[in-house]
Each structure stands twice: as C-alpha cells, then as structure tokens.
Structure 1
Amino acid sequence: MPGRMQQDRNTGRQGAGREPGRGVGDWLSDRVLRGAIATAMALPYPRRLALMGGLTSGLIGPLAGYRRRAERNLALIWPEMPAPRRAALAAACCDNLGRTLIENYSGAEFARRLPDAPAETTGLEAIERARAERRPVVFVTGHFGNHEAPRRVLTAMGYEIGGLYRAMSNRFVNDHYAATMEGVSGPVFAKGRRGLTGFLRHLKAGGMATLLFDLHDRDGVEIDFLGRPALTALTAAELALRHDALLVPYFGIRRPDGIGIDVAVEAPIPHSEPLAMMQEATRRLEQRIAADPGQWFWVHNRWKADRRKR
C-alpha cells in the first residue's frame, strides 16, 4: 500500500522457486488496487481524493485489517482513549492513507495543487546555504499527511532531492508505485545493498535525499515513540555525520479540507551522537502527531518489539 509502507506479510503463500511478493494473492491484491486507482483517476481531482479516502477507510481498510491494526495501536499508546474516538482516528488514518496514495499517482496534477513554497521555513535558509556550498542534506520525515509533498514543493523551487525507500512486500504493487517517486526529482533507491550504494554515491556528490524513519527496523535501537519503545534505524543520523550533511526534518501536513497540503521545513538537527539525533527527529514527528493524530499511518506495526515483551 501507499507511501513506503512495508506490508507485514505477503498475501498468499509463495510457491517453490517463486519470487517472494509475486504469489497469486499478491497478484489479486494488485489487480484490486489497480482497478481502484484507474476508477479514481477518471474523476475530477477533488472527487478522486474523496473516493480513494472513502474506499480505503470504509472498504479496503477494514478488509485488509488496517482499521483493526490502527485501533490496536491507538489503544496501546492511549489506553484511556474512548473506543469511539479510536475508531474515528483509525478511519481518519485510512482516509489520509487513501488520499496520499492517489495524490502520488496523480503526478503533475498533484504538484499543481501544492503551494509554491513551504508554510514553515525555519530550515530553508540552511538548506539554501548547503546547496550553494555543495554540502549534502539528509531530509527525514515520517508517514504523516503526505510524505512526498515536501520533496515535490522543494523540487519546484529548484532543489534536486533523491530518496531511499523500503520496497513493498507485494512486488506487483511496488513495481508501479516506485515509478510515482522516480518521476519527482533526483534518483530514488530501493533499500538494499545496491540501493544503498547508489544513495551513498549521491550524498558524497553533495546531493540531497530523503529517508522515512518511522517504520519498525529489526536492526535499529529502541527509542521511545509516543511513550513506547520502538526499534528505530539510526541510518539517517549516521549518514549525516559520516558525510557532514545537514539533518533536516520536513513534513507535508494535510489541511482540514482533505485536499490542500502545507509543507514545513524545520531547523536542522545539530550533530551529536546518532542516538540523540534520532531521538530529536522522533520528538519532531511526535509533535506533528500530537497536533493531528489522524494524519499518521497507524496501520504500521511500529511497536513490534514492545508487543513481544508484553
């Protein structure tokens, strides 16, 4: 599904010798998704977003278990929250997820709907200076609002920003979704040995690139996220230190109308120890979630390690 979201299990069993993520269940899921996308793309832009938001919230989310997982995660983080409120936030999360998906497939039309410049510009002067000095910049963000919006807005302002993403477990979906990222600006690399090599080469040349850091990482370290320990990759901070790159959080925040997006480019995170830097990145994301919890992708299994301990 959308963004750089890694599904937690493949749909359908893989046959002997078959490439993982290309089973019959994966193919069928992809056909359903392609059909929904094609239907939505035939509609005017506002109706397109409303349709995909509604389908993901009211049909796809419940069938795929996303609504249930979102409510379970909300109960883990805010056990005192009334059940109706959790249900409403889970629905809002799935609605945002569907809107994000179809926005990213809408390409140039989505770009035309975005603002000409960020609404919050605390870090803009620093990245402009870095570009002039050919100093690398590592942007970090989370699955909040539309995480591709900041890259598109800065691209329109003349920046070239690549990205490192985690391939989806459903390879059929990944094939066409990856193309939506590659057409924005700068090279896009799939996480893995080959992708990381290209990503590092891009940074060494003074490039700018984005990493999403709010997915479970089995090789990460525990950082408290919304009050619970979550395994978090230190990669973004380690790369920033290794290549003397700025580490800059940015976010795409959905407006109440469900269509408009505001972009925030925050002040760079000062260089220190990698753990402290990613704790600060986590804190920045937490602030965004606290302001509007329905915009974060609660469908992720973000607290796997914490659940295993309990």
Structure 2
Amino acid sequence: MQIKRGAITGSLSDYLQSLVLKALLGSMKVLPFHIRLKLIGFFTARILSPLAGYGQRVKDNLELVCPDLPKSEVQRLMRRVPESAGKTLAEVYSGPAFKARAKQAKITGGGMDALEAAMNAGQGVILVSGHFGNYDVPRAVLSERGFNVGALYKPFTNPFFDPYYRKTIGAISTPIIPTKDRKSLVQMVRFLKSGGMLGMLIDVHRYGAPHLQFFGKRAATATSAADLALKHNLALVPVYGIRLDDYGHYELVVEPPIAHTNALDMTQALNDSLERQIRAHMDQYFWVHRRWKAETQAADQEK
C-alpha cells in the first residue's frame, strides 16, 4: 500500500517504521547525555545485536583478519562493538548537545597546520575517515573552528525517514551531499573547488574496485577520494574522531596530508592509516560490516 505525505510517496510499512524511529530517537533527547549514550549502547549491544546477528559478524571478521586474538578479547569485542555503534547513533541524533561537547575535543595528529593553510589559500580538502569512533566529530570540531565542512552520505531507502536523518546530520554542518547521481558529483566538485572541505568514508566494499590491503587481507577499496585529490589538486587528509568516555570527551586526530603520487598508492596509505587507528582502539571500529568480501570471494573461488 502506497501513501503520500507532502511531496514524499512510499509504502505504509516505511511510514510506520519512520514514525517509530523518530519517536525513539526524539524521546531519548530528554535524558542526560551520558545516560542517553549508555542506554542506546546497551539496547544495541544486548537487544538489537543478538537479533541482527551483529556479534557473529564481528567474530567472523576478527577470525579472518586477527586470527591470533585471544578468545576472551573476541568475546569482549562482540559486545563492545555494537555498543559503540549504538553510542555513535545516540551522539549523532543528539544534535546541538553532541556538537557542544565535540567542539572541545583534544586535537592531535599533526595535520591542523595543513588544514589552516588550505583554508587560508581557499583550497579544497578531502577529509577521509572510516566507520570508526564517531566519524562526525571532525565535522563538529572543524566547523566550530571556522572551516567550511560538508559530508557525503548514503541516503536511507526509507523515503520518510531520510529527510529526518539528513536534517539531523545537517545540524552539525552543511552541505550534506547524497551519493546517488551525477548531480551529486557536480555539487561535490563545486563545493571542493570553492575551498570547501568534504568528509568521505573509505572503508566500504565496492564491487569492481581495486583489491588493496586492509589488515593484511584483500579489501575492495574505491580510489575515488584519491582520484579527486589528484584531478583537482586537493589535499587528502585522514581524520578520526575517537570517543574517550560517555560524557562527551573526544579526541580529533588530524593526520598530515597524504602525498600525491598515484591513486592506488594514496588509497593504500589511507587504508594503512585507518588500520593503525583501529588497532589502537579495536572496540571503536564497526567490525559488523562485510569489509572483506573480496577476500572471502577469492577464497571460495580457490576451493
């Protein structure tokens, strides 16, 4: 059954799901920030994760790329990884409360001078991160410090929930550019060429992408960030938001720009950078997603 609300048309199921999600995320805002994070983290780890099979995915990925990890550590990460993901969700949907805390983040990594030089020169920057820690911390911190920071995002398939999500993440900084068509690509390039800084996540399996190394295994990795940097002479900068506790204390890591060489080597350098951060904070990486499809598919073919 199709229903229409304003300019949006979708299924009744999508509409009802959107109402439930909005009510849940809206109601949590009445709670103190740290209680909010702990509650959503607990719900994700203890209720959602078992239902969705997240723990098994964490275990499978760890057994693939970290086979020597002690069983006790694997068990710990099976609980802590979904919990961390839930906390990230709670933070992002906390809007101003999250941003007010994130802007006080400790800044490390040695790359801030390069960002300031790019801003003063009116040069665009591609900020690259992964599904690690809270990847919206860089936007929150840098926008508060006067940088013009936007982000790419993958639209939700639910047409009623997507505008709400886009408005929510847009409260941190704009523009928020959907990754869906050529119009989005044009908007992205214009923003970068105008001196904007655009956040991208690199750790998603892309069919047809080169098989680069990530944790010593093959991972299909799009070179689009490096391609853009080379084509438009943009700085390519790894950035990370690390959660230090549940009270809104974060560390923003801004590393020096990746040297311009070729797209494959630059993208491998991004993978290596992300891996170093993950190894230092294993429970803050989203070990749930199927990052190593290239490795498992190749193993199947070799049987």
Query: How far 1:68 sits from its partner (Å)?
Result: 2.0
Deviation by residue 1:216-256 (Cα, 9 ceiling, x = unmatched): 11132111111111111101111011111100111000114
Question: Does 2:193 match 1:220?
Answer: no
Assess, with a 3 A threshold, how the Cα gap between structure 1 residues 31 and 83 changes in structure 2: closer, same or farther: farther
- Equivalent residues in 2 for 1:86-235 (5 A)? 86-116=74-104, 118-192=106-180, 193-235=182-224
Question: Does 2:297 match 1:308?
Answer: yes
- Output the CA distance in 1 between the equivalents of 2:159 and 2:202: 21
Alpha carbons 1:136, 1:203 under 8 Å: kept: yes
Alpha carbons 1:144, 1:252 under 8 Å: kept: yes
Identical residues among aligned pairs (%): 37
Alpha carbons 1:116, 1:156 under 8 Å: kept: no
Assess, with a 3 A threshold, how the Cα gap between structure 1 residues 117 and 79 changes in structure 2: closer, same or farther: closer
- Output the CA distance in 1 between the equivalents of 2:79 and 2:218: 25
| TM-score normalised over the length of structure 1 | 0.87
- Equivalent residues in 2 for 1:4-153 (5 A)? 30-116=18-104, 118-153=106-141
Structure 2 counterpart of 1:279 = 268
Q: CA RMSD in A?
A: 2.2
Query: How far 1:64 sits from its partner (Å)?
Result: 1.8
The count of corresponding residues between Structure 1 and Structure 2 is 292
- Output the CA distance in 2 between the equivalents of 1:64 and 1:29: 17
Structure 2 counterpart of 1:11 = none
Query: How far 1:79 sits from its partner (Å)?
Result: 2.3
Secondary structure of 2:131's aligned partner = coil
- Output the CA distance in 2 between the equivalents of 1:25 and 1:299: 26
Question: Does 2:238 match 1:244?
Answer: no
Query: How far 1:28 sits from its partner (Å)?
Result: 5.7
Alpha carbons 2:149, 2:196 under 8 Å: kept: yes
Greater displacement, 96-105 / 192-201 = 192-201
Find 2:278's aligned residue among 269, 289, 296: 289
- Output the CA distance in 1 between the equivalents of 2:189 and 2:92: 25
- Output the CA distance in 1 between the equivalents of 2:168 and 2:221: 26
Assess, with a 3 A threshold, how the Cα gap between structure 1 residues 158 and 164 changes in structure 2: closer, same or farther: same
- Output the CA distance in 1 between the equivalents of 2:104 and 2:213: 35
- Output the CA distance in 2 between the equivalents of 1:155 and 1:115: 9
- Output the CA distance in 2 between the equivalents of 1:76 and 1:35: 38
Assess, with a 3 A threshold, how the Cα gap between structure 1 residues 45 and 29 changes in structure 2: closer, same or farther: same
| TM-score normalised over the length of structure 2 | 0.89
- 1:205 is matched by which residue type in structure 2? S
- 2:280 is matched by which residue type in structure 1? A
Greater displacement, 152-161 / 164-173 = 164-173
- Output the CA distance in 1 between the equivalents of 2:57 and 2:247: 23
